[in-house]
Amino acid sequence: MRWKQFAFAATLAAAMVAAHGQTAGIDPALLARANGGDAAAQVLVGESYAAGKSVARDLIEAAKWYKKAADTGNIAGELHLAALCRDGGKGFPRDMEQAAALYRMAAEQGDVGAQGTLGLLYSIGQGVPQSYVEAYYWLDLAAAVKGPRQEQYSANRQMIGTHITTDELALVEERVAAWLAAHPRQNAAK
C-alpha cells in the first residue's frame, strides 16, 4: 500500500512540475485563492481541469488540485479525487485502493454518499478486502439519513445482512450507535 501511495504522490508531483504555467485560462482571483490554500477554490480549479473549462482538459492537473483540497480534509476534494481514482481516464491511472481510501476519509467525516459507496466497495471487495460486516456498517450509517438514496442504502444493507451472523450484527449495531453518538446528524432517521 505504501508503494502505491508513493507512486500516486510521485505522479502528482511530476504533474505539478509539468503543468507549471498551464493555468492561463483560470480566473486569476480564483487561482490566487486556490494557491493561497482555499480548499473550495482548489476544488473549483480541479473541476475546471477535469471538465476542460477555460483550460485544456487535464485529469492529472485536476487530481493535483483535488489532492491539495483533500489533504486539508475537504470532503469535496476527497470525493472528486476518489472519483478520478475510481474511474481513471486519459492520462490518469485507475486506482481502486486509493479511491476506497479517499471514500473512507469522506465517509468518516459523515458524507452519506461516501458511506454508501464504501459499503458497496466492501460488499464486492473492490479496493478493500471483501467484508460483509464492514459493508453492513457503512450501509447502516448511510441508511440512517433521510435522502433520495436512503431506500437504496436500506435495501442494500438488508441484502448484506443475510451474510452476517447475529453476533456480528450486534457488534455492528454497537459501532453504529457509537459513531452516531460521536457524530450527531440533524436529519438522521434513527
Residues 94 and 136 grouped into a single domain = no
Residues 8 and 83 grouped into a single domain = yes
Flag whether 80 is in a domain. yes
Q: Give pairs for 95-102: CB < 8 Å, separation 24+.
A: 95/4, 95/8, 96/121, 96/126, 96/127, 97/1, 97/4, 97/127, 97/128, 98/4, 98/5, 98/8, 98/127, 99/127, 100/126, 100/127, 100/128, 101/127, 102/70, 102/78
Residues 81 and 143 grouped into a single domain = no
Residues 43 and 88 grouped into a single domain = yes
Flag whether 69 is in a domain. yes
* Whole-structure pTM value: 0.84
Residues 88 and 153 grouped into a single domain = no
Residues 95 and 21 grouped into a single domain = yes
pLDDT in tens, the chain (190 residues): 444 554 555 455 444 434 444 567 899 999 999 999 999 999 999 999 999 999 999 999 999 999 999 999 999 999 999 999 999 998 899 999 999 999 999 999 999 999 999 999 999 999 999 999 999 999 999 999 999 999 999 999 999 999 999 999 999 999 999 999 999 875 555 5
Flag whether 13 is in a domain. yes
Say how many domains are in the chain. Answer: 2
Residues 65 and 155 grouped into a single domain = no
Residues 49 and 97 grouped into a single domain = yes
Residues 99 and 6 grouped into a single domain = yes
User: What's the pLDDT at 10?
Assistant: 45
- C-alpha atoms less than 13 angstroms from C-alpha of 149 in its C-beta half-sphere: 14
For residue 52, the domain's CATH number is 1.25.40.10
Residues 65 and 152 grouped into a single domain = no
User: What's the pLDDT at 6?
Assistant: 42
Q: Which domain holds residue 65?
A: 2-104
Residues 50 and 12 grouped into a single domain = yes
- Dig out the grid coordinates for 173 from the structure: 449495531
